[in-house]
Homo-oligomer: A and B are copies of this chain.
Amino acid sequence: MDFTLGSADTEWRDRVRAFMDEKVRPRVADYEAQQRDGERWKVLPVVEDLKTQARAEGLWNLFMPPSHGATPVDASFTFDGPGLSNLQYAVCAEEMGRILWASEAFNCSAPDTGNMEVINRYGTREQKDEWLKPLMDGEIRSAFLMTEPDVASSDATNIQCRIEKRGNGYVVNGRKWWSSGAGDPRAKVAILMGKTDPGAEKHKQQSMLLMPLDAPGVTIERHLPVFGYDDAPHGHMEIRLDNVELPGSAMLLGEGRGFEIAQGRLGPGRIHHCMRTIGAAEEALDLMVKRLMSRTAFGKTIAEQGVWEERVANARIDIEMTRLLCLKAADMMDRAGNKAAQGEIAMIKVAAPLMALKVIDDAIQAHGAAGVSADTGLAHAYASIRTLRLADGPDEVHRRAIARLEYKKHR
């Protein structure tokens, strides 16, 4: 056991950190200006520019794990990225997470990362050529169509979207929402989860399809704001699917294997979110401390007032503990595989957003009214991270899974 980050672990992180400080952070104002002005669902030049620079430096597709935890379905074209371990990626993702939109500059943003992993592992050569390649090149973006508005999606067997076999192909009908990233004009493809066989056993009813977002019958009905933020141009969309016809080649892995893919997909994706969340908490703590040290009330700096010493200390303690759990989960995935780490993955999925929300909320309080405005980024970070207590399964479902692992030890 060794708690020191070795040089192999820090090399990539330091490069990402430097890029963040030197290239991304100075462009935050540009990003906000470009986002604010004119049409909201558009490509932001600042991001495209940063992507070019990051790719040129080799800071590109860092997320893609070397082995994917399994042999890909079609090995004739696979992509390994620059070969970072999950742990090495974790410390990079934390740096990216300090600025809400920064991960896209490295082609490391959700939901593309998870989608690319899925296609890399479960896709045919044809599927990879069509969708994986442009995704890896950062030319297109993608969406993941899982959650539905009319059912408790925490129980994935509730999914109602219907995929019917017709001839060699499929016809899709249903309604999805919280399809994040589908607002982006570059979003060209979605991975869609639906039911092919409602009569099959519970975990064999679902399948996943690759669906072009411009297929006839796909209608983006509206965008869903998060605490007032539209998160344009990324966005969270509600999408109606009316008799969308797809060829047989759109099927991933095989009919009835949707659950199997979903489980493989979510593990690393959950960890990526958590890593970034820890970075967001560090950023909030930085902002909080700077603010506390710069303002005076009742004759001394606010930093010196005992109640703030307590909150700063608790923030530091909670960040440290959460980071360690996150890195441990990443390290277990590296050494023992995603399945062995399932308990740790569920734990960090619960722990990281709760920790960050507390730290950010305290940072808001430390800033007074500035904290809830757009001037600090804190309120937006709060809103975004609040969704992580719901996305990929609510806390309650993960806690139940953790408890049941615990019960198993005593059976």
Contacts and interface: CB of A to CB of B under 8 A. Distances in A.
Most B CB within 10 A of own CB, among A151, A286, A403: A403
Contact of A147 (B153, B365, B369, B389): B369
Contacts of A210: none
A297 B225 CA distance: 25
A187 to B, nearest CB: 19
A331 B2 contact: yes
Nearest to A231: B228
Contacts of A178: 369
Contacts of A153: 368
A321 B351 contact: yes
A75 interface: no
A1 B370 contact: no
Contacts of A398: 313
Q: Is the interface of A mostly helix, strand, loop or mixed?
A: helix
A320 interface: yes
A332 B313 CA distance: 19
A368 B390 contact: yes
Nearest to A400: B309
A171 interface: no
A43 interface: no
Interface stretch (A20-28, A111-119, A211-219, A375-383): A375-383
A394 B368 contact: yes
Interface stretch (A46-54, A92-100, A300-308): A300-308
B407 A303 contact: yes
Contacts of A302: 152
A374 interface: yes
A226 interface: yes
Interface of A: 1-6, 9, 87, 147, 149, 151-155, 158, 177-178, 224-230, 236, 285-286, 289-290, 293, 295-298, 302-303, 305-310, 312-314, 316-317, 320-322, 324-325, 327-328, 331-332, 335, 343-344, 347, 350-351, 364-365, 368-375, 379-380, 382-383, 386-387, 389-391, 394-396, 398-407, 409-411
29 contacts: A147-B368, A151-B295, A152-B297, A155-B296, A224-B374, A225-B228, A225-B373, A226-B228, A226-B372, A227-B227, A227-B379, A227-B383, A228-B230, A228-B380, A285-B406, A289-B406, A303-B403, A309-B404, A312-B406, A313-B398, A313-B402, A317-B325, A317-B347, A317-B350, A317-B351, A365-B396, A368-B390, A369-B391, A379-B383
